[in-house]
Structure 1
Amino acid sequence: MTEIGSAAPDLTLPDQYGRPTSLAELRHGRAVLVVFFPFAFSRICTGELAAIQRDLERFDNDRVTTVGVSCDPVYSLKAWAQAEGLEMPLLSDFWAHGEVARSYGVLDERAGMPVRGTFLIDEHGVVRWTLVNPPGEARDFTGFHRALDALPAGAD
């Protein structure tokens, strides 16, 4: 599991439009919240990402940007984003299947999906806050807002 204070594993994955998106590019001058989720179109995942979308100004602003990551293919993520009105980048860890989720320690190998892992990464690539929930258990983003507020000066 990726620990607080450690360097975040790098990632470059296609977003829901097929555009390669890297952590380094996302971090440019701000923190990144990486939200791993099991499956597009599932009840809990839809509720969690819809909650982010409803409060998007707290999750995507001059201090932080948020991305979702799943093992779904690009086309599924695009259809889901359109169906749910999700504006944040949704990254596909489809191939090599779960490689990024595995590098963060949140891939359920048996089920072939990431668990609900959440990582706040500062602009220098250091993990500052984590939350990992098992399948079937929705996450509470309250701790994220406190962690973002606590980022040291120069890391926001």
Structure 2
Amino acid sequence: MAVGTGDQAPEFDLEEAPDRPRVRLADFRGRRNVLLVFHPFAWTPVCRDEALDLQANLESFHNAETDVVFVSCDPSASRQAWKHELGVTYTFASDFWEHGAAARAYGVFNERTGAPVRGTFLIDRDGIVIWSLVKEADTRRTEMVPESLDALGGGG
């Protein structure tokens, strides 16, 4: 079962790139909110569209002191190449090893495909999930900017 609104967000420890610090929920606590967005695979049309939607709304996230972390189980080198090709500026993280550990913790890992479904979790500075949305892998998310983002606004 997926993590839901009001739940304590599970810790995650993801690789952005081998030469960069790891991306951990603990590093955001008390500082920034996090929109944690799981998707099945890099280099696919629906995932590309969602990645670009997030980039198009990045100012809204910045205004709400929220960092976006876009996650799949693809290796970090592939994720960074795809990020570069798309021209996006937010974090692309890899849940490659231990394979799917973060997706499993959030209840969005599909054991049959070896990839996450489309799970989205808005986590506040205290580590509480204040909004979540889970869709199957073949269903595109259209609610990439939750209304609850307004409540996060600056100054926390």
Query: What TM-score comes out, normalization by structure 1 length?
Result: 0.90
User: Partner of 1:13 in structure 2?
Assistant: 14
Q: Distance in 1 between matches of 2:116 and 2:67?
A: 20
Deviation at 1:25, TM superposition (A): 1.2
CA distance change for structure 1 residues 63 and 116 in 2, over 3 Å: closer, same or farther?
same
Q: Distance in 1 between matches of 2:98 and 2:14?
A: 10
CA contact (8 A) 1:17 1:78 kept: no
User: Partner of 2:115 in structure 1?
Assistant: 113
Deviation at 1:18, TM superposition (A): 4.6
The one-letter code matched in structure 1 to 2:6 is: G
CA distance change for structure 1 residues 128 and 51 in 2, over 3 Å: closer, same or farther?
same
CA contact (8 A) 2:11 2:25 kept: yes
Q: Distance in 2 between matches of 1:14 and 1:56?
A: 21
CA contact (8 A) 1:32 1:122 kept: yes
Alignment RMSD, CA only? 2.0
Gaps of 5+ in 1: none
Deviation at 1:62, TM superposition (A): 5.3
CA contact (8 A) 1:14 1:74 kept: yes
Q: Which runs of 4+ in 1 moved over 6 A?
A: none
Q: Distance in 1 between matches of 2:33 and 2:120?
A: 13
User: Partner of 2:135 in structure 1?
Assistant: 133
The one-letter code matched in structure 2 to 1:6 is: D
